[in-house]
Structure 1
């Protein structure tokens, strides 16, 4: 933890040096002594300390200064550091005015100039100020700070991005006193939110994901132009491929447009993954895999939106949204799937304001005493229901089918049955979302009799219609009617190799219609939608990459 500051403000250079010297002599080991020659300079120093997450214990300001008096300075300083102890430096002639100022801006003390000897006239006063501050100190905040509106889609997206990338941050709403102080320190108004203040004190108003990623230390630029293996997508399949590719000596880069982990990374608890008898959260599993891949030498880039892929001679070229590109001998597509938007009135307008897609752990505590609805019946929905049941008054799973048995693992069904505040509504779908600025209620329709039911709802999390995000592929590789990438045997229609195939062999099991481009995990047609199988396919794809490279 860094040392808290003592700030002195005096426009007389001799007095300023003297007070700083005397304070440094006794308090220099415990406190950082900061000098300013004017009120404006002092406020600028305080804003920088605030943005860096530091603390201020004591403020000493000269009573008479041009442009801004000591009283005016302390009054504005209180907005930034309300817990700092305050004292005025004043001449004997201004004693009455200084005493009156104690009632105006809650000044704790005043000091007469000169204060020689400091052991008698300065240190006892400062000791008392320090003791009073220690009783209720400012808390140092070294993490990234986020200021935004509680029910705002841009603020939620930014927080969700940080949480998904396991970047620690502290959240303040614009209505929090500390949130307003951060806005003031950054010199921006409420219209600039969401505001990010980096750990080194740099403010960013409404940054893009790429700007945010760079600011918090995530890699966004490739270190090379050519690799042995490019992996598109950072879910379990992509991370599995990165670990095995890097461990076997391939120059490997993983490209992720949002955050590593994919849908599995959002899971609050995965209890059927081999080797974790007590279960493991998706974020823990993701972080371990990410660190393992990095330690083995894989390069990982975030906020890189891949928009096209092509074969260019023996190279496989991946193009980004900004027009740049990187090349490799081989590519593994591991982009997974995303949840389909709920097609009902009100859902789009309330996204980020009570309606969310996938499980967002950032909203866990906010669901306290609320009625939560989970739409979907797969494992991800069940895991989310278990998680939110810890906070919510009630959790209701809404499914169109007659039971959970067809889509959810047995262990999860058993868990949910034992949780008192979790219930399941079968043969039901959401046909309306309502609320003024935030989700307040839902309209549910029973498919058996067509009846409608209006229910109160504070939050709705949607886990339906997992679709592959493969439109960017165009005609580059063969896909099935739902957009999933076809590989291996699925490409062999009537025993014939795919059109344009230029190899004297059949496609390898996970190879696409373009030699050297492979697919693994949920994005692949007819794949098993489980974390373990995705990791296994990622590893298997690397084995086939080696086979492909050896045949070149």
Structure 2
């Protein structure tokens, strides 16, 4: 495998030479720079690079080219190099083309010509994109063998994928290599899932704690006490970790499954400030996690917290794997999980065609299938758009009569533009059926009840906070959301201090809540990030009063 490639495409000879020059000056040491004068020539070059198994990191393409436009080229490039970063070069008059590129060609950025000086208007953009691009890993030696319709196998696939661990999944029913490995390891197919590690060891029916330990995820704290402990590594928790660690606080983050929370599974976040073309939840999570670690925060995964108690001015948390960790201040950022569908058959088929959240593995599993999504909020809309890239048809089932009241306008427009997406209003799922996997749905609408064949059902019907571990210590509302600020005074007149709780402070002094877990939260990623940062500021104020 050669050096990763940067490919510049422009039909204007002097402009192409300038692009090539600027790319070589900045990136020539670590990347191979190529130039093409037309879309057809660029596609031919990409195909040859692909045959040589040379990675392409970035495409920098002019929009106005004869024969094949920049948007058309970038759209076609997704089939050859789907993970390459794509940048469109446009003129001031090409705003419509840039927007089309964002929607149709998965473009990560667009640049206006001219870009001089490159130090200000070119390199910062490309540096950022290249930092988040990862070269294709060598063929992963970590192999997961499972039945496609195994609930425990699906949980392992989701855990590995969300923690960005490269692995290969081998379907025991259709993959010859899977059966050969089982024979060599003398493992019965009835004992799956099995995880074949890099060193040849095989874990049979492992739990996530065992898998995390064997693949190098850290699950044990290095210290017994920290200035700041954050429970939950969604946007709010990661923001708190970044700001706390950057200020020199000893910071520990405990995450039960994978960094990112619900946001980590979002295919594209398009309304986040500073990213005009959007970014994926995985991309945002990767950036935030690396930023927190660079400042010195410890992030433990998987590390579920099962209890908490007070000891003087300190808060002591108890992880499920044992031991205790003391915190001068604690930030609760455990977020929410989707409410389960309470209809006949749904519980039995969870993970077997009925899913809560939509990741890449689920999308690929149901390629060319008939998929249904339940919900009328942004999460449901984002999932429907994402799944439409794989499924033959996606049907959004909405309880109400209008999406405008519950879903962002840009998502409503996006759904309308997808030919294989339809919306059914005033429709509810009343039952699911299937033996080994989901096979069909029973739907109730204004026209009556009917049966529909279905390959997958993705459920986004409300949120439940992950706060059971706070029982008896931190006050919550009737739904389980953590009370903070003035709400604490209303619900808990026994607040122990003479001064009222600080904003985001819970019923326990020095314990704060941020993000969707908090009563009255804004339920937006940007709001969660802001609250995570503000919680650190208020934490300093509380410490100053001790």
User: For this structure pair, what is the TM-score category when the shorter chain's length is used for normalisation?
Assistant: 0.7 to 0.9
Give the secondary-structure state (helix, strand or coil) at the position aligned to 1:230. strand
Q: Superposed, which structure 2 residues align to 1:90-489 within 5 Å?
A: 141-175=139-173, 176-446=175-445, 448=446, 451-489=448-486
Determine if contact 2:140/2:166 at 8 Å carries over to the other structure. no
Find the aligned partners of 1:241 and 1:202 in 2 and give their Cα distance. Answer: 38
Q: Which among 488, 493, 502 is matched to residue 496 of structure 2? A: 502
Find the aligned partners of 1:492 and 1:177 in 2 and give their Cα distance. Answer: 64
Per the TM alignment, residue 182 of structure 1 is displaced from its structure 2 partner at its CA by 1.7
Find the aligned partners of 1:187 and 1:295 in 2 and give their Cα distance. Answer: 43
Find the aligned partners of 1:543 and 1:209 in 2 and give their Cα distance. Answer: 34
Per the TM alignment, residue 322 of structure 1 is displaced from its structure 2 partner at its CA by 4.0
Per the TM alignment, residue 548 of structure 1 is displaced from its structure 2 partner at its CA by 1.2
Give the secondary-structure state (helix, strand or coil) at the position aligned to 1:522. coil
| Alignment TM-score, normalising by the size of structure 2 | 0.73
Determine if contact 2:240/2:535 at 8 Å carries over to the other structure. yes
Give the secondary-structure state (helix, strand or coil) at the position aligned to 1:332. strand
Per the TM alignment, residue 170 of structure 1 is displaced from its structure 2 partner at its CA by 0.5
* Equivalent residue number for residue 112 of structure 1: none
Find the aligned partners of 1:158 and 1:204 in 2 and give their Cα distance. Answer: 12
Determine if contact 2:140/2:168 at 8 Å carries over to the other structure. no
Per the TM alignment, residue 200 of structure 1 is displaced from its structure 2 partner at its CA by 2.7
Find the aligned partners of 1:292 and 1:430 in 2 and give their Cα distance. Answer: 42
Give the secondary-structure state (helix, strand or coil) at the position aligned to 2:275. coil
Find the aligned partners of 1:300 and 1:436 in 2 and give their Cα distance. Answer: 40
The count of residues paired between Structure 1 and Structure 2 equals: 410
Q: Does 1:530 align with 2:524?
A: yes
Find the aligned partners of 1:456 and 1:470 in 2 and give their Cα distance. Answer: 37
Give the secondary-structure state (helix, strand or coil) at the position aligned to 2:168. strand
Measured on the aligned residues, the alpha-carbon RMSD in Å equals: 1.5
* Equivalent residue number for residue 539 of structure 1: 533
- Residues 188 and 499 of structure 1, relative CA distance in 2, 3 Å threshold: same
Q: Which among 537, 543, 546 is matched to residue 549 of structure 1? A: 543
Unmatched 5+ stretches in structure 2: 2-136
Determine if contact 2:236/2:514 at 8 Å carries over to the other structure. yes
Deviations 1:204-250 (A, max 9, x none): 11111000001111110000000000000111000010000100111
Find the aligned partners of 1:366 and 1:379 in 2 and give their Cα distance. Answer: 23
Find the aligned partners of 1:501 and 1:357 in 2 and give their Cα distance. Answer: 38
Find the aligned partners of 2:326 and 2:339 in 1 and give their Cα distance. Answer: 31
- Residues 505 and 202 of structure 1, relative CA distance in 2, 3 Å threshold: same
- Residues 215 and 407 of structure 1, relative CA distance in 2, 3 Å threshold: same
Find the aligned partners of 2:193 and 2:330 in 1 and give their Cα distance. Answer: 36
Find the aligned partners of 1:140 and 1:165 in 2 and give their Cα distance. Answer: 17
Find the aligned partners of 1:195 and 1:232 in 2 and give their Cα distance. Answer: 30
* Equivalent residue number for residue 487 of structure 2: 490
Deviations 1:73-108 (A, max 9, x none): xxxxxxxxxxxxxxxxxxxxxxxxxxxxxxxxxxxx
Determine if contact 2:145/2:169 at 8 Å carries over to the other structure. yes
* Equivalent residue number for residue 8 of structure 1: none
Per the TM alignment, residue 374 of structure 1 is displaced from its structure 2 partner at its CA by 0.4
Per the TM alignment, residue 329 of structure 1 is displaced from its structure 2 partner at its CA by 0.3
Find the aligned partners of 1:399 and 1:294 in 2 and give their Cα distance. Answer: 41
Q: Superposed, which structure 2 residues align to 1:30-109 within 5 Å?
A: none
Give the secondary-structure state (helix, strand or coil) at the position aligned to 1:523. coil
Determine if contact 2:235/2:528 at 8 Å carries over to the other structure. yes
- Residues 143 and 379 of structure 1, relative CA distance in 2, 3 Å threshold: farther
Per the TM alignment, residue 391 of structure 1 is displaced from its structure 2 partner at its CA by 1.1
Moved over 3 A (4+): 139-143, 497-500
Give the secondary-structure state (helix, strand or coil) at the position aligned to 1:482. coil
Deviations 1:347-373 (A, max 9, x none): 111111111111122121221221100
Give the secondary-structure state (helix, strand or coil) at the position aligned to 1:521. coil
Find the aligned partners of 1:278 and 1:185 in 2 and give their Cα distance. Answer: 48
Find the aligned partners of 1:221 and 1:413 in 2 and give their Cα distance. Answer: 44
Per the TM alignment, residue 504 of structure 1 is displaced from its structure 2 partner at its CA by 2.4
Give the secondary-structure state (helix, strand or coil) at the position aligned to 1:364. helix
Deviations 1:398-447 (A, max 9, x none): 1111111111110000010011110111111100101121111100001x
Per the TM alignment, residue 323 of structure 1 is displaced from its structure 2 partner at its CA by 4.2
Give the secondary-structure state (helix, strand or coil) at the position aligned to 2:497. coil
Deviations 1:250-294 (A, max 9, x none): 100000111110000000111111111111111111011111100
Per the TM alignment, residue 502 of structure 1 is displaced from its structure 2 partner at its CA by 2.4
Per the TM alignment, residue 377 of structure 1 is displaced from its structure 2 partner at its CA by 1.1
Per the TM alignment, residue 185 of structure 1 is displaced from its structure 2 partner at its CA by 2.8
Unmatched 5+ stretches in structure 1: 2-138
Determine if contact 2:489/2:495 at 8 Å carries over to the other structure. no
Give the secondary-structure state (helix, strand or coil) at the position aligned to 1:178. helix
Determine if contact 2:427/2:444 at 8 Å carries over to the other structure. yes
- Residues 168 and 140 of structure 1, relative CA distance in 2, 3 Å threshold: closer
- Residues 402 and 140 of structure 1, relative CA distance in 2, 3 Å threshold: closer
Per the TM alignment, residue 145 of structure 1 is displaced from its structure 2 partner at its CA by 0.8
